[in-house]
Structure 1
């Protein structure tokens, strides 16, 4: 009986937790749908439905242990990747973020002042509400019923003519400034139907919609009579000349349209992008390869020294050499940024005192790249040293004893025994390190920010930029509007390159059995 009660409690707790998860996830799905994030809502709903099927069906019991990992991969890896690839085929940017319907609505909401201006004052009431008093140029007064300044949401207030000021305290200018956002959302309607909106901190004015919508989604400017047509090739409303050709005039905001392979072709054909892209790609490969080579070389040599039994105080040296790995990378990078300062850095002070030179570490492209390799080697060698120290333990001492009988020197032992036996198990880790440094964004951002900048490029690019930092600069620093579509195209190319490296790694490290 006791076992049955315990089983019931445990089963009830499981159902309670599942019901709670379903309720929370269901609420998030509804919230995302209400906010217009339909794609996120659909993906979350699919994951929730598949999870319920797996957890409620006995035949799918084995999938219960795999589903959380698969759901996390779909939600945080595959879904962002699919969105990035999808954006690469659009003109999505800071000027073309909205859908066609949303962009049209934003433009239709624009108004212009038409008619007289009315001086206004704000009066408080006994129940902590407000009344709006307007005075016309002809000294007529109009007042609204009490209302609350809610701060969000449009309000329409009906005005009635009055001969006297309302009871209560008149709001000071600071109160009007404080509630300016809420006042800007008020629409005051005169008895004759004229609508007034706040035009300054002292006045309400008659307003009208600036554009009139045509059947072909054209927008006619009521003030100038100019007609704007939706151009689905550029994602903007533009005007046409006498020959019905598109002009350079356009309205913002624009809307998102599919551009096919244009972003990818732009990388290959636009000289302002092609040249820096190729140069940055070559530098990225060189930087990653040099970093792997130097970190492995330094780490391997230091690991061999730490295994040298004749060396006294090896524990202290080992601790000191591992310290760069223990300190957070961003702290070390910022310290090196100060050390390499051209005018006040300790490194230039020493070089000036010893050799009379003060390299321009941040303004000269060659010196900036050299600085990056030095700093990254410092950050990466402890990891390789720790790996090599562990691998050295697996090398039989008999090999060194046999070589000693043949009269081999320590240098010959290193190149004929140690290096061949270490390089094979290190190869997969070296390839992984190459892929990591291929996308070493933090180092570039904190140390050089991609500089010094290249001249004559269509997009912002620097001599020390890696492909990942170049993509980031296009997405968030691009002149004339942040170009997320182009950045997504380059990110897709980076994904293909890194994916090719991963496949090469898997193929290279595959264990072959006889």
Structure 2
């Protein structure tokens, strides 16, 4: 092929290549612009709804995404960005949000912002005059309202356009002698209620009437008026409600708080209560000690039972190993909540099979759910049953990796089975098992389902000002403060959750250091 022909063939190819490159560039920047426009729209919507924290999160995630997918320097990071974004959204943000709530008075009584609380109070109304009966009539292609006055006269509204926009429309009332026809039945008035509630009716003397129930209108006036310093004045009683930014409430002259309250920054008050208030500090420390003991004892008991059973299944004289292995692992296959509910019935004091057997053999009926020691023992028994199959599987696999020559050599030296366990089996098992034991400890440290389904934290700790039980773990204790029995004190629960995070983080770091695990 001549140079001229090659050049002629090369020119269209280059043109197509450049056209495709331009098209890809346009699509790339178009998608980038569309993504950012949509993300910024969501950010603005969240900010308009006063969700500043979520709007800031969206802005950060969007900004990082734009930088990673546009910048050539961050090209390699785009493959791990989804994981980073997931960590920001589901780990770091909830953690920071929880810590932030711990520095406020956020609770079931203080859910709103100051502006929302003011709006709620300013929307309260009172009836300043007589309640007047009314009827609704269809007339002249629309609706007309007839209001009976105390002196026997009748006021009739102008024609109301049915289906008008839901806005407050001032309509003058005037007397009418002509018949309006038959009044609408109650079911039709109910269907028109939302529309009627939007209208304001003006009497000839200037009094404003609003719908009050389904049969009456009344002069309804705002109950409160906002003053310049943020206080509220009661238009009916002239009482002043003082804005208290320390408590997060409006307070009347007698010191009573007016619900709903609003969220305010309280500093270290919640953390100080946990550490200094005896009625909170005592139960917190007691529950913390029980949580650590429960998690540690569960690991010890499940490991002991799993290791013993795994060793027995390794014994050559045992026949039917496959059957025994299947039966011993079976509890692991049953959903945990089913096993927990079954054990809850078995431990029932009056009708449970365990107490029936103990009563027939020894004449005792232990109160498993009312006595703190027995309740904790029951929890450990149930959790050991639920957890030993996991340890059994681990030990069965690790035992197979131990050379048989070691046991044969120890047999020649006259070692007992206990010597084999302490000098050969455990030293060779404990190192590969340690990360899994730490994971098991961490799981049981937050074993919310077991406590909730089996005891619900009972029996309660006497003298505690927060809902606290002797069988509560820290996670169930925090849950009860936030969502049960205590007025939904989210801020105090967030402060306790923050302290739990610090304690668990310190314990995890200490475990990693003691076990010399590289991180």
TM-score, L = length of structure 2: 0.88
Aligned-residue RMSD, C-alpha:
3.0
1:130–1:148 Cα contact (<8 Å) kept: no
Q: Give the whole-Å Cα distance in 1 for the aligned partners of 2:291 and 2:191.
A: 52
Deviates more, 1:189-198 or 1:406-415: 189-198
Paired position in structure 2 for 1:48: 62
- Higher Cα radius of gyration: 2
Is 1:250 the counterpart of 2:257 in the alignment?
A: yes
> How far does residue 13 in structure 1 lie from its aligned partner after superposition?
8.5
Are the equivalent residues in 1 in contact too, given 2:106–2:490 (CA < 8 A)?
yes
Q: Distance in 2 between matches of 1:376 and 1:149?
A: 64
Offset at 1:450? 0.9
Residue 58 (structure 1) aligned with residue 75 (structure 2): no
Task: Return 354-363 or 188-197, whichever deviates more.
Answer: 188-197
| 2:135–2:183 CA contact under 8 A, matched in 1 | no
User: Aligned pair in 2 of structure 1 residues 512, 214: CA closer, same or farther (>3 Å)?
Assistant: closer
Alpha-carbon deviation of 1:465? 1.0
Confirm or deny that 1:112 pairs with 2:112: no
1:91-137 per-residue CA deviation (whole Å, 9 max, x = no partner) reads 1111111111211121111111112212133456898x865543333
The separation in 1 between residues aligned to 2:391 and 2:467, in whole angstroms, is: 35
Map of 1:83 onto structure 2 = 97
TM-score normalised according to structure 1 size: 0.88
Q: Is the 8 A contact 1:236 1:251 kept in 2?
A: yes
Contact 1:237 1:251 in 2 (8 A): yes
Q: 1:124/1:362 Cα in 2 relative to 1: closer, same or farther (>3 Å)?
A: farther
- After superposition, the Cα gap between the structure-2 partners of 1:456 and 1:397, relative to the gap in structure 1 and judged at 3 Å, is same
Which residue does the alignment assign to 1:505?
511
Q: 1:146 to 1:439 in 2, by over 3 A?
A: same
Identify the residue that residue 492 of structure 2 maps to in structure 1.
486
Choose from 451, 454, 458 the match for 1:447.
454
Instruction: Tell me whether 254-263 or 55-64 shows the greater mean CA deviation.
Output: 55-64
Could you tell me how far 1:14 is from its partner in structure 2?
7.5
Q: Counterpart of 1:413? A: 420
Structure 1 unaligned regions, length at least 5:
241-246
* Corresponding position: 1:399 with 2:406: yes
Offset, 1:198: 2.9
SS of residue in 1 equivalent to 2:169: strand
Aligned 1:180-329 pairs, distance under 5 A: 184=197, 186-240=199-253, 247-329=254-336
Distance 1:362 1:206, change over 3 A: same
Distance between the aligned counterparts of 2:300 and 2:204, measured in 1? 82
Q: Report if aligned partners of 2:102, 2:492 keep a CA contact under 8 Å in 1.
A: yes
Contact conserved, 1:435 with 1:501, CA < 8 A, in 2? no
Q: Name the structure 1 match of 2:6.
A: none
Q: How is 1:133-148 mapped onto 2 (pairs within 5 angstroms)?
A: 133-138=146-151, 139-143=153-157, 145-148=160-163
Task: Spell out, residue by residue over 1:146-181, the C-alpha distance to the aligned partner (whole angstroms, 9 max, x if none).
Answer: 23398xx65435243353565687132x55556666
Cα deviation for residue 90 of structure 1 reads 0.8
Cα separation, partners in 2 of 1:335 and 1:206, compared to 1, 3 Å: same
In the alignment, is the contact (CA less than 8 A) between 1:125 and 1:146 conserved in 2?
no
Q: How far, CA to CA, are the matches of 2:192 and 2:461 in structure 1?
A: 47
Q: Is the 8 A contact 1:131 1:147 kept in 2?
A: no
Pairing 1:435-474 to 2, within 5 Å after superposition: 435-474=442-481
Q: Does 1:496 align with 2:498?
A: no
Check the 8 A contact 2:126/2:221 in 1, yes or no: yes
Q: SS of 1:260's equivalent? A: coil
Aligned residue for 2:255, secondary structure, equals strand
Distance 2:58 2:216 in 1: 48
Tell which deviates more after alignment, 466-475 or 179-188: 179-188
The structure-2 alpha-carbon separation of the partners of 1:110 and 1:512, relative to structure 1 and needing over 3 Å to count, comes to: closer
Residue number among 333, 341, 351 corresponding to 1:334 in the alignment: 341
